Amino acid sequence: MNPYSACATGIPYEITVWTGNVRGAGTDSNVFIQMYGEGGKTEEYVLRNRTNNFEQGEVDKFKVTVICNQESVSNRFRDIEP
């Protein structure tokens, strides 16, 4: 099977984020993910699935479809205050 055959339709990823359960944990900011791999890096994707993500002690799941992310090996998260 050609490893790049999914490039046209994208490769689906499920991202799971655990927000800490300590005082002050959580954010109302926009949170982004960027994946890095041997073949480069993806664009930034905003992590959004409902209105109240990233609350203290909660687990959030997100689905992201990445076009030609060559073997993602690491991630970078960032947020922007609303």
Q: Can you read off the two tokens belonging to residue 30?
A: 């926009």
| Whether the predicted pLDDT of 4 surpasses 80 | no
Provide the pLDDT for residue 70.
52
- Per DSSP, the chain holds a count of helices (H) and strands (E) of 0, 6
DSSP 8-state class, residue 78: E
Please state which of the four CATH numbers 3.90.1150.10, 2.60.60.20, 1.10.10.10, 3.40.50.740 is assigned to the domain occupying 5-80: 2.60.60.20
CB count in 10 Å sphere of residue 28: 12
Q: Report if pTM > 0.75.
A: no
Of the two residues 56 and 50, the one the predictor is more confident about is 56
Please answer whether residues 66 and 72 qualify as being in contact, where contact means their C-beta atoms are separated by less than 8 angstroms: yes
* Domain spans in the chain, listed from the N-terminal domain onward: 5-80
Please answer whether residues 29 and 61 qualify as being in contact, where contact means their C-beta atoms are separated by less than 8 angstroms: no
Residue-wise pLDDT for 6-48, tens only, equals 566 778 889 999 999 999 999 988 899 888 877 778 888 899 8
